[in-house]
Amino acid sequence: MRSYTVVGAGAIGLLYGSRLAAAGHPVRWVVRSGADEMRAAGLEVRSVDGDLRIEAAAMDVFDDPSDAPASDVVVVALKTTANEHLADLVGPAVADGATVAVFQNGLGVEARVRHAMPQAGAVVGAMCFVCAHRRSAGIVDHLDYGAVTAGVHGESDPRAAVALVDDLIGTGTEATIVADLAVARWRKLVWNVPFNGLSVILGATTDALLGAPATRGLVADLMDEVIGAANAAGHAVAVDFRDEMLATTDAMAPYAPSMKLDHEGGRPMEIEAIYDAPLDAALRAGAPMPKVAAVRDQLRFLDRRHVVADRHG
Amino acid sequence: MRSYTVVGAGAIGLLYGSRLAAAGHPVRWVVRSGADEMRAAGLEVRSVDGDLRIEAAAMDVFDDPSDAPASDVVVVALKTTANEHLADLVGPAVADGATVAVFQNGLGVEARVRHAMPQAGAVVGAMCFVCAHRRSAGIVDHLDYGAVTAGVHGESDPRAAVALVDDLIGTGTEATIVADLAVARWRKLVWNVPFNGLSVILGATTDALLGAPATRGLVADLMDEVIGAANAAGHAVAVDFRDEMLATTDAMAPYAPSMKLDHEGGRPMEIEAIYDAPLDAALRAGAPMPKVAAVRDQLRFLDRRHVVADRHG
């Protein structure tokens, strides 16, 4: 069984890390906060697919990435807002030739990992289609879905993605290989761009946004802009993928996207990875996304207020 | 002295109506709410230009427009959200040949008045560049500015606008004639479109919106879209009017636009006149305003919530 080091103990890291551990993989955890709680109480996944517990005795938790033993795969499950510090937060846990699997949202995240960890053997991008929230240290609520798609970045050996997907399938996760990681990243943005931003700005869950004609139209427009930019940038996304995403979201239980929870929790939002990087790529491709840009500017304003509030107490 | 009937007792109607009354014009008031308070206590303008009082004994207040005596000029100082009912709310106060002066925001408001009151002799559009809020029935806070520009609508006799401007100048108001009412309406939108909408959506006053680089940029983008649409529709607005409006707003005391107060007060917002009508005109002119449309959709969502909240108590 291949060994894993999971860096970051948010909902994504806890959910898939627990599944890998339950399937018998050695799993090491590198966490910045909540380490003591996880050592004391283990992990708990309250899941629509059946609950899962990892006992405290089975937990291998490290505060410092340089203390973690070398694993075959290092999972980056940090928020992208920490990506400036990837080299410090993750790098020491990555042995020469190890696979780094990037379980993050947004665009350009694998390139940042590749740059920060030149010793990695392969960089794999992983996208999770899942509704899950961290309830507290070591406890995650898994509400819906759970599929993962993965593909290699740049010149990495495609077998690194196949091995990850095989391991995930072994945990009972629906996992598939994507031939073109960039296309998959843009497809994920088609959902993330409208719902993350509007849920924060309008204080609303997915059902409310789709239930009102005005915001349903705006969600569709934002999706169209993302699809247009993806195609202009050479990453083919079908125009009717929009309708598929709307229908998928209609079928979901009312959902508060991660950005909404981050903002309400006083944490910074993933604006750079989910908005700035796609907007830059769209502009370079000659397909600006004006409505996406308006949403980004509004988020920056709200994020700035968070920073100001922090500073003044 | 020409006589006036002011319909609507919000900040605009109270401020300019009081000035006309103080200057000696017979002024009749048609108000839907607060009539008893105004009859009992008169009017009070707490103004940067010096306070003003109209004693109760001098008040001529009517609940029903058909009870008001014929005046030379009828001032429409209702919110545009009442414009569906113009014929009923204002029409009976308009004698054959009277001038109707439309003190409202947005686009297309004079055409609605013209259609609802065919007996009017002339329809004049008036734009107020003023920071003022109604504090309570009959009491208005006048915080800053106060200039009025006015021009005639369609085939109306231009002398009707000249007479209105003369009367306003007689009250000490800075008032000027505009040769092209449509241009003036679009120029006013250059300010109203960004600041009204964003102040509601982001819960912020003008100083906060201009103080953050992201929203300052978004305000400028929204202004550019409005200016582009105005020019495409044949109404010449100089490109650098944007910078003038930004500088003017920088110089203002922090201000909560009327739409923000309306929304916070649980009243409907003037989305149709300030957003829908300009968006329609822009689309017809082949110059769509995508960022303005995104703001409009967000406002519709927030407005809808207001309606829903009303229905359910």
Give the residue from chain A lying closest to B302, CA to CA: A202
pLDDT at B305: 67
User: What is the value of ipTM here, to two decimals?
Assistant: 0.91
pLDDT attached to residue B197:
98
Instruction: Give every CB contact of residue B288 below 8 A, 6+ residues apart in sequence.
Output: B229, B279, B282
Residue B293 C-alpha, separation from nearest chain A C-alpha, in angstroms = 8
Q: Find the mean pLDDT for residues A74-97.
A: 97
Cβ-based contacts under 8 A for chains A and B: 78
Interface residues on B facing A, Cβ-Cβ cutoff 8 A:
198, 201-202, 204, 209, 212-215, 217-218, 221, 290-291, 293-302, 304
The shortest C-alpha distance from A210 to chain B (Å) reads 10
pLDDT at B307: 55
pLDDT string in tens for chain B (313-residue length): 999 999 999 999 999 999 999 999 999 999 988 999 999 999 999 999 999 999 999 999 999 999 999 999 999 999 999 999 999 999 999 999 999 999 999 999 999 999 999 999 999 999 999 999 999 999 999 999 999 999 999 999 999 999 999 999 999 999 999 999 999 999 999 999 999 999 999 999 999 999 999 999 999 999 999 999 999 999 999 999 999 999 999 998 899 999 999 999 999 999 999 999 999 999 999 999 999 999 999 999 999 765 554 444 3
Q: If you count DSSP H runs as helices and E runs as strands, how many of each does chain A have, helices first?
A: 13, 10
Contact (CB<8Å) B301/A215: yes
Least CA distance to B276: which residue of chain A?
A: A214
Please give the pLDDT value at position A33. Answer: 87
What is the pLDDT, as a whole number, of residue B304?
A: 74
A291/B296 CB distance under 8 A: no
pLDDT of amino acid A306: 59
Confidence label for A311 from pLDDT (cuts 50, 70 and 90): very low
Token pair for A144: 């819906």
CA-to-CA dists, residue A280 to A31, A184, A188, A288, angstroms: 32, 18, 17, 9
pLDDT for residue B311 = 41
Give residues with Cβ within 8 angstroms of B27, minimum separation 6: B3, B4, B5, B6, B17, B20, B21, B60
pLDDT in tens, A201-211: 999 999 999 99
Q: Which residues of A touch B293 (CB under 8 A)?
A: 221, 291
A208 CB neighbour count, 10 Å cutoff: 18
> With b meaning 16 or more CB within 10 Å and e meaning fewer, what string describes A151-167?
bbbeebeeebbebbbeb
Please state the rounded mean pLDDT for residues A127-141.
94
**What SS3 class is residue B203?**
coil
Q: Using an 8 Å CB-CB cutoff, list chain B residues near A291.
A: 290-291, 293-294
The pLDDT of residue A305 is 67
Q: Which of A212, A295, A296 sits opposite B301 (nearest CB)?
A: A212
* Conformation bin of residue A203: beta by default, left when phi > 0, alpha when psi is -120 to 50: left
The CA distance from B120 to the nearest CA of chain A, in Å, is: 37
Return the half-sphere exposure (C-beta side, CA atoms, 13 A cut-off) of residue A281: 26
To test the contact with chain A by mutation, choose from B263, B301, B307 the residue with the greatest count of A C-beta atoms within 10 A, namely B301
Chain A partners within 8 Å of B215 (Cβ): 297-298, 300-301
pLDDT > 90: what percent of chain A? 95
Residue B217 CA neighbour count, 13 Å, CB half: 13
Interatomic CA distance for residues A161 and A125, integer angstroms: 8
What's the rounded Cα separation, in Å, for the pair B18 and B43? 7
Phi, psi torsion values for B85, nearest 5 degrees: -110, 20
Backbone angles phi, psi at A148, to 5 degrees: -125, 135
What ranges in chain A are assigned the alpha helix state H?
A: 11-22, 35-41, 86-89, 109-116, 159-170, 181-201, 206-211, 213-232, 241-251, 258-264, 271, 277-284, 290-311
Residue A307 has pLDDT above 80, yes or no: no
Q: Is the dihedral of CA B87, B89, B90, B92 positive or negative?
A: positive
Helix, strand or coil, per DSSP, at residue B308: helix
B79 in active site: no
CA–chain centroid gap for B117, Å, is 19
Asked if the Cβ–Cβ distance from B297 to A201 is below 8 Å, we say no
Nearest-CA residue of chain A relative to B199? A298
The reported pTM is 0.93
